[in-house]
Amino acid sequence: MFLYVASKKFPKLPNTLFLVLGSIVLVTVANLSSLGVEVVGHIPPGLPSLIIPDPALLDVNILVTLAATVFLISFIEGYLFASEYAAKNRYKIDKNQELLALGISNIAVGMFQGLPVAGSLSRTAVNNESGAKSQLASIVSGLIIMLVLLFFTGIFTNLPHAILAAIILFIIKNLVDIPHFKSIYHFSKIEFSIAIITMLFVLFFGALEAIVIGVILSVVGLINKMYNPHIAVLGKMPGKDQFLDIKRRPEAKRIPEVLIVRVDGSQIFLNNEDIKNRIFELIENDYKDTKLLILDFEATSFIDHSGAEMIEELYCEFKLRGIKITAANIYGPLRDSIRKTELEEEIVEGTIPLTIEDCIKLWENEKS
């Protein structure tokens, strides 16, 4: 309550420092530690000694797996926290620079028998709340900590644990961004569910477990989207050369005997069978008069070998049925992928990427 009121009334004063010193005085004068109030207790003075590690080969083999795990956790957590505050304060961060700093810090701390260094959510929040703007803040705080370790550790003997917890909770309360959660909810219910589950894991299990479950759920969601890509049937807009989804734009009209299909997403082994089956269903159930099938690749960024095989299967099957297949809006790397198969001459007309309108005109000329 003190921090909340003081931050509103006196935002420029070091209210956290006043709270720490005041609590130490109160505990010391009233001897509250004897009444069950937990305090920090004795802190050994002095700095750690410089010792260059000399691990044996056996130690290295044992430490590699553990060190790799600690590194992965440290980097992910630190980068996530840095990204959070970079977004809040509108500045950019460099992943490589963060990784370099983390590596150098851990090499240095290893020589002083310290624990692995990583980004800290609570300390980052404290730094941000205190108005730190550059790396100079960390240098100053490091020098102050060094002086405290050398000369003033006794002052903090009666510092209550509850005060430390209150400071951290007060500062990190701003990390719960309710408007951002509302934005996620309106954008995607699935992403909102992942965000809520990840947040609950942070509260009940820890940051590492939350990161793991968040990554797993995100990958599962991505696979699901890739497995079920949106397939649009396109129609021509009256008086224009535009071809749009007839479900979204009812005024777009299908050209008789022509089925234009656009797959919104990459065509890979996960979804090829589903795409093929849905195209067959369209022709067999809804567009039985189809004589020309145009595959619009405008929204397709990548196609793998199984995707090319799927198109070849469509070509062979529909050729037997008297249905011509051609491709439109196929560019760059995607065209290079098609060129490596035997389909280029069959479905890609000429050397210049064709529009849907060009494909229709070529087909009409062939008929006449």
Domain ranges for the chain: 2-174, 176-226, 229-367
Distance CA 101, CA 81 (A): 15
CATH superfamily of 229-367: STAS domain (3.30.750.24)
pTM reported for the whole predicted model: 0.63
213-241 burial, b if ≥16 CB within 10 A, otherwise e?
A: bbeebeeeeeeeeeeebebbbbbbeeeee
Give me the sign of the Cα torsion angle 214, 217, 219, 221: negative
Q: How many helices (H) and strands (E) does the chain have?
A: 15, 5
What string of DSSP letters covers 291-344?
-EEEEE-TT---B-HHHHHHHHHHHHHHHHTT-EEEEES--HHHHHHHHTSS-H
pLDDT at 63: 80
Per-residue pLDDT of the chain (368 residues; tens, 9 = 90+): 788 788 778 877 788 888 999 999 999 999 888 888 899 998 888 888 888 877 676 677 778 877 887 887 788 778 877 887 888 788 888 888 888 888 898 888 888 888 888 877 767 777 777 777 777 888 888 898 889 889 988 889 999 999 988 888 887 776 677 888 899 999 999 999 999 999 898 888 877 788 889 889 999 988 888 888 999 999 999 988 899 999 999 999 999 999 999 999 888 888 899 999 999 999 999 999 999 999 999 998 888 888 888 888 898 899 899 999 988 988 877 877 777 776 666 666 655 568 999 999 989 888 87
Distance CA 244, CA 246 (A): 6
How many of the other CB atoms lie within 10 Å of CB of 334?
A: 20
pLDDT at 270: 85
